Amino acid sequence: MSWLKYGFAVFLYLLQCTDAVFEDQVGKFDWRQQYVGNVRFAFFDTHSQASKKLLVATEKNIFASLNSRTGELFWRHVDKTGPEGNIDTLLVHGQDAVVVVGNGRVMRCWESNIGGLNWEVVLDTGSFQAAAFVGVQDFVKYVAVVKKSAISFHYLSNGHQKWIENLPDSDTVQYQTVYSDGQGEVLVLGVVPNSHIVVVAYNIEDGEIMKQISVEAPWMSSLEESCVVVGAGILLCVDPITLSLYTLPLYSDQRTEMNQILLQSLDLDVAPGFQPVLTATQPNPARAPLTSFFLQLGPEHHLLLQLKDGIITTLRDFKPSRLAAFATSGEKTVAGVMTPKNETACSINLFTVDTGRRLLDTTVIYHLEPNGGKPSKLYIQAFLKKDDSVGYRAMVQTEDFALTFLQQPGRVVWSREEALAEVVTMEMVDLPLTGTQAELEGEFGKKADGLLAMVLKRLSSQLILLQSWIAHLWKLFYDARKPRNQVKNEITIETLSRDEFNLQKMMVMVTASGKLFGIDSRSGSILWKHYLENIQPNSAFKLMVQRTTAHFPHPPQCTLLVKDKETGLASLHVFNPIFGKKSQISLPALPRPILQSLLLPLMDQDYGKILLLIDDQYKVTAFPSNKNVLQQLQESASSIYFYLVDCSQGRLSGFRLRKDLSTELIWEVVIPAEVQKIVAVKGKRPNEHVHSQGRVMGDRSVLYKYLNPNLLAVVTESTDTHQERSFVGIFLIDGVTGRIIHEAVQRKARGPVHFVHSENWMVYEYWNLKARRVEFSVLELFEGMELYNSTAFSSLDRPHPPQVLQQSYIFPSPISTLEATLTEKGITSRHLLVGLPSGGILSLPKMYLDPRRPEVITEQSREENLIPYAPELPIRTEWFINYNQTVSRVRGIYTAPSGLESTCLVVAYGLDIYQTRVYPSKQFDVLKDDYDYVLISSVLLGLFFATMISKRLAEVKLLNRAWR
């Protein structure tokens, strides 16, 4: 009997600890989109005609396989960030894909079907220069890798090193290219800039140097940028200075100089200031390259040339032309060329490489995005039809990192917006009202002429609502008769409208490439996109919502501040976040570098918030700038404060705005830059609501919170990286007075520090060098048992410093990012959303990070429901809000309130984008999906009829009693 009790207890415990996501709930309230980043190398799998694989290597250090029919990922390998995981080159032959990573640190061979690792070898030290397949008797057997001072030979089957040899004169010669055509030799080509070319031939079997020649080339500085190998081992180079082509037979022992061919002799002209580009192709590494090649003489000028017997002939002149590429299927190689058709479209055609003749019925029309980037690369997937003719599909890569896959006659099969792999900032904007909702808003927002007019308007509004309700019911009935796969619920800009609980919003995302996206938060569909040209790679972005959709009929308005980190110069982009259209509004001139931007709670006559921009001369520019705005600024100048941060000098400066819109320095805090450096400064979120001013103690007294809206959290790190002397510093500074409210130091610690600053608390995370672990520390500020001023908070009138409580905890995992949940009224308990390097998003209750957690349980602590203190924070599997939908390289988490107090909208972005809803206090204001409406309706109807019958019986009884 005892074992039954024990088993039942274990069952109850497991039942309590078990949590799961039902199969029908997956994807119902969440979605994930996976990306790979800007593509550097791309190869179509030509191993078989039916292959659907597209192998890509990207600037985000990712090697992946895409489905060429749908654009979805087959598999993806995410390498380390930074130079250590940088992909140097990608070689593809058959089902083998060889990747060299980390400046020649590691070479891996992947099986392209399933993405499995065939082998991996660590290469010898030295900077990577080139790699190539080497074939023998029409079979590719080896991989040659050229480093700065050595060449190594590896078997393609297992990666084992066959031999390694030093390169002669590697101190002066820059070896940059390796070449083989299956004749038993491998050639390594190097250059001494502005002097000569060096060609070294190695024997494939033992690595013995067969020959070494040197050829004068005083005009050459780089082989990679100027030369290709065409035909039977002919080195072809182009010189933009002398406007000439140079040829050199690599297998000839007699020639000691290159043959010069003037472009003018071929009736060719180079566009002024353009660097000519040569493009050749070697379909089979075990055979010689083709004799045909492309020569680009201008941004829109390509030529298909052929080199035979030392003579160059022009097969076809493509002018104008934007892009050109070779493609091979079986034994046939074709050339694809993109030519502009008009300002909004381009045409892609195929041409034979031996004659330059255009193949019939091969035109594909590519329509340019009106707000997108220009085409930058063209990839052709050729295949043989049943009649042995060549068909093809094309993939176009644009400047904004978008990939578009096309097939005849121009149908877009799929497209991928790889710019979303690097989101830098985002905002969520409420959707606009529907027509009927706007009609009701207009009814209450305008003055009626009289009682009769109000009644008529109300009746008309109700008729419109009745009509829309009947149309909705008819659509439900009509869709119910169709199969589920034929019911279309496509989201378009025209059908966007605010739902009942404001759960569907517009996600406005800004990417590092300068492309803006408007994404529907419910489905993840991209509704609009806009590419900002001429954005510097190191630019910083700040997105601000100046006007929401709450001010009908005024359209919503967002302002994007783009700042160049080197020069400090900034520009503004104002647009409608719902439709993505650029606003036709005059923008202020910003000739000086911008130091700070402030979005004030003040509004102009059109309900747009006022944006202040402070330049390096401390001059203030207002946007929008009109008489009404300037008058408001003059009236409110005494209450407008801002701060500036100079991280290089460790200086924080506080300023106040004067009535003449000049600035006045009122405080300054200097942190010694030689001891510690400022790494982050953060205030509180302006849209954050605090529901309770205090906490009720176990003895029924109230401990009031220190709710300073002007409090700044400053995080510093020591400049000394020694384990015993390194530290992390925390400063809480009042942004109005400059007073340091609290200072904390974590010794023997270092960053990166992730922190959240909210309400009266701050949570930050750091690495403990002594214990070698991640630790959390929490600060909470309280005014005490008495509230100094219950109506308004003033930084200028605070005679007593707050009480500060602090506690630290151990966290068993590294952390990538940290954010707190946010709800509309602040009633729901707070959770911390922790992004982990493993791809999980953890929802950690704030109650576990309470500095008042007692070590010894008392009656009062039980009354407050305080958890006993334990140094280790647990990670429970049910706390992961993304179950198995991992988010690779998560960089940020954005939270936004919904119309339901219980629900917080969460977006995690990094390499992937994941959107979901979290319920920190469960769904206390929403009925569950499995709520039994039939049962409750039956009970209510039964009670109603029982009441009516009982009432009738009671009346009869009273009547009979009255007649007695």
pLDDT at 20: 52
Count CB atoms within 10 A of the CB of residue 943.
Answer: 10
- Reported pTM: 0.89
Using 50 as the pLDDT threshold, list the residues of the chain that sit under it: 1-19
H/E/C letters for each residue in 196-235? EEEEEEEECCCCCEEEEEEEECCCCCCHHHHEEEECCCEE
pLDDT in tens, 183-220: 888 999 999 998 899 999 999 998 899 989 999 988 88
pLDDT the model gives residue 6 = 45
SS3 (DSSP) at 828: coil
User: CA-to-CA distance for 788 and 665, rounded, in angstroms?
Assistant: 28
pLDDT score recorded for residue 551: 84
**DSSP 8-state symbol, 466:** H
Q: Which helix (H) or strand (E) holds 940?
A: helix 933-963
Instruction: Report the candidate in 239, 235, 195 with the shortest Cα–Cα distance to residue 214.
Output: 195
Q: What is the pLDDT of residue 864?
A: 87
Q: Is the sign of the CA dihedral 868, 869, 872, 874 positive or negative?
A: positive
Spatial distance between the Cα atoms of 833 and 234, rounded to a whole number of angstroms: 60
Of 503, 502, 497, which is closest to residue 437 (Cα–Cα)? 497
- Contact, 919 vs 25, CB < 8 A? no
Within 307-353, residue ranges assigned H as helices are: none
Residue 752: how many other CB atoms lie within 10 Å: 16
The 8-class DSSP code of residue 370 comes to: T
Q: Which pLDDT value is given to residue 444?
A: 56
How far apart, in whole angstroms, are the C-alpha atoms of residue 558 and residue 540?
16
DSSP 8-state code for residue 943:
H
Structural tokens at position 318: 């493509």
Strands of 62-67's sheet in order across? 39-44, 53-58, 62-67, 73-78
DSSP 581: P
The whole-number pLDDT of residue 542 equals 94
How much is the pLDDT for 911?
A: 95
What is the reported pLDDT for 892? Answer: 94
